[in-house]
Amino acid sequence: MAPRSRAQLAEKLAARDVPDEVAAEVLDRFEDVGLVDDARYAEGFVNARQGQRGRRALALELRRKGVDDETAREAVDAVDDASEEAAARRLVQRKLAATRGLERAVRQRRLAGTLARRGFPPGLVMRVVREELAADDVDDAVVLTDPDVLEGPDDLG
């Protein structure tokens, strides 16, 4: 079974018609012996997903899973700016090939939308998308003008 927050376990117990008082006692005991720890859960959750989501999205997901705001904030604060930027770049680089052949504005909008939906901050989104599109355009230009890429003696000209 995957780790769960206290709130998620409380929901499961309620769904099985366990009385609230009994569920609270069981969950308190689980916390006492270290079987339920929302801070450790939040830390593991963030570590597992930080390469796919921005800090804002991670915090929102933790809150949806019943982790209190302070615990979620502490877990998300462990992600530094460099890690968040690296994750954004990896996502854009994976999506670049799928947008080749489209107008630059369309590519920019699609790539920015992908990052925005994953909770990356707007300033980071636009900077990373612009930089990666520029790098991709340079790579395309090198391939098109590199004589080693040309196919035959007629192409050399």
At residue 155, the pLDDT reads 46
Domains of the chain by residue range: 6-77, 81-145
At residue 139, the pLDDT reads 54
Helix (H) or strand (E) segment spanning residue 24 = helix 20-32
At residue 1, the pLDDT reads 67
Q: What is the pLDDT along the chain (157 residues), one digit of tens a residue?
A: 688 999 999 999 999 999 999 999 999 999 999 899 999 999 999 999 988 999 999 999 999 999 999 999 999 999 999 999 999 999 999 999 899 989 999 999 999 999 999 999 999 999 999 999 999 876 554 444 444 544 544 444 4
